Structure 1
Amino acid sequence: MDVAWTVVTALWAILPAYLPNSVAVVVGGGRPIDGGRTWRGDRLLGDGKTWRGFVVGSLAGVAVAFAMNAVRPALAPALPAFPAAVAIALPVGAMLGDAAGSFLKRRTGRERGAPFPVVDRFGFLVGALGLALVVAPDWTLGTFTGPVLVVVLVVTPLLHRGTNSAAYRLGLKDEPW
C-alpha cells in the first residue's frame, strides 16, 4: 500500500469516529449525562457532556458511516466498508472515550475546558477503536493495520488542534484547545 493510499484509507476508516465530537459541540447543551452527580467532591463528567451531544453526535457518526458505505462502490471500492456493528461502534466508542476523558479530568482536579493533552487528543480514539475491536476484531485489525494506525495517530492531534481552534473562533468553544 503506497503512502497516499494509506492516508486515504486511514482518514476514510476513522471519519465516523472523528465526526461525533464536532457535532456534539455544535448541537450540545441540555441535560448533563452525569445529572450533576459528584464523586469524591467533583462532578463525574461536568456540564460539557450532555445527552443531546452524545446521542446526536453518535447518530451523526453512524449516518456518515452508512452514507460512506453507499458511495464507496462508485467512489473507491477498495476502501473498507463499515459493517453495521462497526458503523455504530466507532462513533459511540468515540463519545464514550471522550466521556471517559472527562471523567479522568475531573479525577485529576482539572476543570472543564482545562487542557489535558494526551487524553483530549486520543481518548475518543481509544474508545472508538476499543469498541470496534470488541464488536468486530477481524475488521478492526484488518483495517487499522500498522501503517494506517500510524497515520491516524499522526493526523489526529493536527486535526484536533485545527478543529478546536476553528470552533473557538466561531464562538462554539470557550478555549482553543
Structure 2
Amino acid sequence: MSWLSVVVVAVWAMLPAYVPNNAAVLAGGGRPIDGGRTLGGARALGDGKTWRGTAAGTAAGVGLALILDRIGPTVAAVIGVDVPGFPLLAALALAFGAMVGDIAASFIKRRLDRERGAPVPGLDQLDFVVGALALAALFVPTWFADTFTPGVLLVVVLLTPLLHLSTNAIAYGLGLKDEPY
C-alpha cells in the first residue's frame, strides 16, 4: 500500500472518532456527567462533560460512519484507494470510544489539579484516539486489525495532533471554544 493510501485510510477510518468531540461542543450543555461531585477535593470531571454532549457526539460519529460506509465504494472507485467500511459496532466503538477517551482525559486533568480548558500536551491531542482505538480493538477486533495496520496507526498518531490543533484553532476563531488548543 502506498503512503498516500495509508494516509487516506487513516483519515477515513478515524473520521467517526474525529467528529464526536466537535459535535459535543456544539450540542453540549446540560447536566454534567459527574453531577457536580468531587473526588479528592476536585470535581470528578467538570461542567464541560455532559450527558447531552456525550450522546450528541456519539450520535454524530455513528451517523458519519454510516454515511461513509454507504459512500465508501464510490469514493474508493473515484480516488483509487480501498477505504474501509464501517460495521455498526465499529462505528459505535469509534464514536463512543472517542467520547470516553475525552472524558478519561478530563478525569486525569482534574487529578492533576488542572482547570477546565488547561492544556496538557499529548493528552489533549490523543485522548480520544486512545479511547476510540481501544474500544474498536475490544469490540470489533477483526475489523480493527484489518483496518488499523501498523502504518495506519502510525499516521493516526502523527497526523491527529496536527488536525486536532487546527480544528480547535478554527473553533476558537469562530467563538465555539474558549481556548485555541
TM-score normalised according to structure 2 size: 0.95
Moved more, 14-23 or 78-87: 78-87
What residue number does 1:113 align with?
Answer: 117
1:32 aligns with 2:36: no
What residue number does 2:70 align with?
Answer: 70
What residue number does 1:42 align with?
Answer: 42
Code of the residue aligned with 1:111 in structure 2: it is E
1:58 aligns with 2:62: no
What residue number does 2:168 align with?
Answer: 164
What residue number does 2:20 align with?
Answer: 20
Root-mean-square deviation (Å) = 0.9
What residue number does 2:10 align with?
Answer: 10
Q: Distance in 1 between matches of 2:30 and 2:166?
A: 26
Long gaps (5+) in structure 1 = none
SS in structure 1 opposite 2:179?
coil
Q: Distance in 2 between matches of 1:97 and 1:48?
A: 14
What residue number does 1:143 align with?
Answer: 147
TM-score normalised according to structure 1 size: 0.98
What residue number does 1:123 align with?
Answer: 127
Q: Distance in 1 between matches of 2:24 and 2:88?
A: 22
Identity percentage of aligned residues: 56
Q: Give the one of 83, 87, 91 matched to 1:87.
A: 91
Q: Distance in 2 between matches of 1:68 and 1:16?
A: 9
Q: Distance in 2 between matches of 1:170 and 1:29?
A: 18
SS in structure 2 opposite 1:76?
helix
Code of the residue aligned with 1:87 in structure 2: it is A
Long gaps (5+) in structure 2 = none
Moved more, 141-150 or 101-110: 141-150
CA drift of 1:39 comes to: 0.5
After TM superposition, the runs of 4+ consecutive aligned structure 1 residues lying more than 2 A away are: none
Q: Distance in 1 between matches of 2:54 and 2:46?
A: 13
CA drift of 1:171 comes to: 0.9
Q: Distance in 2 between matches of 1:47 and 1:10?
A: 32
Q: Distance in 1 between matches of 2:73 and 2:126?
A: 31
Q: Distance in 2 between matches of 1:101 and 1:10?
A: 23
Q: Distance in 1 between matches of 2:169 and 2:178?
A: 10
Number of aligned pairs?
A: 177
